[in-house]
Amino acid sequence: MTSDHKLVVVGGGVAGLDIAGHLAGRAVGTRRLAVTLIDREPAHVWKPMLHTIAAGTQEAATQQTPYLVQAHERGFIYQPGEAVGIDRQTRSVHLAPLRSGDEEIVPARSIAYDTLVLAVGSEANDFGTPGVAEHCFTINTRSQAIAFNDRMRADMLKAFAAERTFSVAIVGGGATGVELSAEIVQLVDIVEHYGVAQSRERLRVTLIESGDRLLRAFPERVARAAEDRLRRMGVVVRTGVRVHEADAQAFHLPDGETIQADLKVWAAGVRAPDLIRSIDGLRQNKAGQILVGSNLVAIDDARIVAVGDCASPQLSQDALVPTTAQAAFQEAAYLITHLPEILNGGKIPDFRYRDFGGLVSLGGYDAYGTLGQFGLFGGGFLRGRVAQLGHALLYRRHQARLHGFGRGSLLWLADVLSSRVRPPTRLS
Ligand SMILES: Cc1cc2nc3c(=O)[nH]c(=O)nc-3n(C[C@H](O)[C@H](O)[C@H](O)COP(=O)(O)OP(=O)(O)OC[C@H]3O[C@@H](n4cnc5c(N)ncnc54)[C@H](O)[C@@H]3O)c2cc1C
């Protein structure tokens, strides 16, 4: 009897969870894929909605998918824990001990692989700016989004109860910064309905971007429309401004100006997590992303596949693959189709990235986007309800991939119904 092929996926995000769920139990020649998924979080949250969890306009508890449930339904093993090292010689992934407070629940352990899929995503890049690590929040993970929301609700209530201004400053005018700014304004509009008088007047959100415009990954028309709308919502937008230091009270600019804020968020730059940068002998680009060929296999190790934000595919066409959910989804779909064939030594087509455009949502106020080169009508500008629907559909398609079309549709319906009866913001 031949043994199973051990496929270990590190990172159950947009790409990794899709891959683990769809490849578990698949045949590779005469062998079966025994899939193990490692993630440091207990539950998966669609990362493009983290800003809503950070603002409290969505709750992680109602939008998350516990890994254990997916593992049970899809037939893979879930190993909770943070991967802290990859040993390419012994082909094993080292996990840190699992703790609850000070108590060690599960000791450090290693998990062996025949093939490793690295899908650990990316994090904001502070480019070594002094004070950022100590004084700024980041919104890269479910836990960070919840931690930011806990802090913000407490600080905001204190400020409003004392009838003083509450301020948030966000560095990074990409989708995260833009969407988070709008969502915080929306939160404050909602709390006003709960009797917190003059909350909008007492809120100050400043969005700081070093480039000459917001949303550099989007067409200029989208960026201008979003910036104009943010300003009309009362967000102070500062472009062409580079932060050179952060401390407990403020962001500091090179000319001596300070931008005071109760809470500071760093949402600029993209880099691969430390785990990736700690792997010996795998070539990476400046952002620490693993260089992979046009079949998404690491160019330095045929046993390692990298996907999503932590990978940099070297494609024959000129296409640069952006760090977006759309790209992570396309790469996952490619591997789900072709990985068994790659492992079997078969010939497969190259991965091709298709730009279907991008959408940015300003809370319930508006949304803007384009349909991209390959989208309907060959591109074009979208706004308003159509763009909001397009943004929602991205998430609903992801849910349908995880849970199947029927259950995915029911989850959508459940969200619509519960939005009619539940408070529109997290209250406790
Ligand atoms: C606030 C926000 C808004 C965004 N909006 C959009 C949008 O509107 N449209 C869009 O296309 N993209 C958007 N993005 C980008 C998009 O979310 C990412 O490009 C996408 O999630 C990348 O998918 P991934 O599978 O590579 O990684 P992720 O989805 O980030 O998943 C990585 C997983 O790896 C796990 N992990 C990481 N390190 C370890 C470790 N050492 N050990 C164990 N587990 C680990 C994490 O817990 C996580 O589950 C947004 C991002 C953010 C932060």
> What are the pLDDT digits (tens) for 238-253?
999 999 999 999 999 9
**Tell me, what's the pLDDT at 426?**
65
Q: Is 13 in the pocket of ligand 1 (CB under 6 A)?
A: yes
d(CA 309, CA 314): 14
Count other C-beta atoms under 10 Å from residue 119's C-beta.
Answer: 30
Q: Is 138 in the pocket of ligand 1 (CB under 6 A)?
A: no
State whether the Cα torsion 250-251-256-258 is positive or negative: negative
Q: Where are the domains of the chain?
A: 5-50+63-122+271-343, 124-269, 356-418
Mutational test site, ligand 1, from 17, 39, 45, 47, max ligand atoms within 8 Å of CB:
47
And the tokens for 311? 């990978």
Q: Is 344 in the pocket of ligand 1 (CB under 6 A)?
A: no
Q: What is the mean pLDDT of residues 136-151?
A: 96
45 Cα nearest atom in ligand 1 = 49
Residues 6+ apart with CB under 8 A from 88: 279, 280, 281, 282, 301, 303, 304
Residue 163 DSSP symbol: T
| Position 215 pLDDT exceeds 70 | yes
Coil vs helix vs strand at 54: helix
120 Cα nearest atom in ligand 1 = 34
d(CA 58, CA 183): 10
pLDDT band at 34; cut points 50, 70, 90: very high
pLDDT band at 63; cut points 50, 70, 90: confident
Phi, psi for 319 (deg, rounded to 5): -60, 130
Q: What is the mean pLDDT of residues 157-173?
A: 94
pLDDT band at 198; cut points 50, 70, 90: confident
d(CA 228, CA 224): 6
Domains 5-50+63-122+271-343 and 124-269 equal at CATH topology level: yes
122 Cα nearest atom in ligand 1 = 30
Q: Is 142 in the pocket of ligand 1 (CB under 6 A)?
A: no
Check residues 416 and 69 and name the one with the higher pLDDT. Answer: 69
**Tell me, what's the pLDDT at 428?**
61
Q: What is the mean pLDDT of residues 63-76?
A: 95
| Position 55 pLDDT exceeds 70 | yes
Q: For residue range 345-364, what is the model confidence (pLDDT) as tens digits?
A: 988 999 999 888 788 889 88
| Position 378 pLDDT exceeds 70 | no
384-416 CB burial, b ≥16 within 10 A, e <16:
eeebbebbeebbbebbbbbbeeeebeebbeebe
**Tell me, what's the pLDDT at 249?**
96
Residue 161 CA to ligand 1 center (angstroms) comes to 36
CATH code assigned to 5-50+63-122+271-343: 3.50.50.60
Locate all alpha helices (DSSP H) within 11-66, ordered by sequence. 14-23, 50-55, 60-63
Q: Is 277 in the pocket of ligand 1 (CB under 6 A)?
A: no
Q: Is 39 in the pocket of ligand 1 (CB under 6 A)?
A: yes
| Position 391 pLDDT exceeds 90 | no
- Closest residue by Cα to atom 35, ligand 1, is 11
Phi, psi for 78 (deg, rounded to 5): -105, 125
322: number of CA atoms within 13 Å, CB side? 15
d(CA 277, CA 366): 38
**Tell me, what's the pLDDT at 386?**
79
And the tokens for 414? 């459940």
**Tell me, what's the pLDDT at 59?**
87
Count other C-beta atoms under 10 Å from residue 322's C-beta.
Answer: 15
Contact in structure between 312 and 319 (CB atoms under 8 Å): no
| Cα 228 to Cα 182, 232, 346, 362, distances in angstroms | 12, 6, 52, 11
**Tell me, what's the pLDDT at 380?**
73
Could you tell me which of 229, 234, 233 has the C-alpha nearest to residue 214?
A: 229
Q: Which pTM value belongs to this model?
A: 0.91
Cα torsion 29, 336, 298, 285 to 10°: value is 180
pLDDT band at 107; cut points 50, 70, 90: very high
Confirm or reject CATH 3.30.980.20 for domain 124-269, answering yes or no.
Answer: no
